[in-house]
Structure 1
């Protein structure tokens, strides 16, 4: 899977049983931004932390190595 924010592209390996919160924790390990300040988007819709990638139809059939799933990443303002 590919997560993009502006000019930053992150390649992640995740299963369809991985939750969105777990994806955010992977991103936190790379970009040092806590999950509560991240927003992951699929087709301009925010993905919910407690849902899995499979819930959003991201699985081995829809996201392959040569055509990975592409998600958007936004950061929330920690000050509100």
Structure 2
């Protein structure tokens, strides 16, 4: 699901040097990610996910819960 959110047709990365988020991984190490903005609303993103992953049984709310912290929607970003 994380790789799905990071695709260029699902989200785009902000270009600024300060547009980064530091996240701790499972080992406790800090990893820096570039912030990303969803191109479409979550409902459309879920439809794209279901079309490409028919064998995966995942609800829309679960897809939203599994969204990485460095990928935000346009409305949450303030644009």
Q: TM-score, normalised by structure 1?
A: 0.36
Structure number having the greater helix percentage: 2
Q: TM-score, normalised by structure 2?
A: 0.36
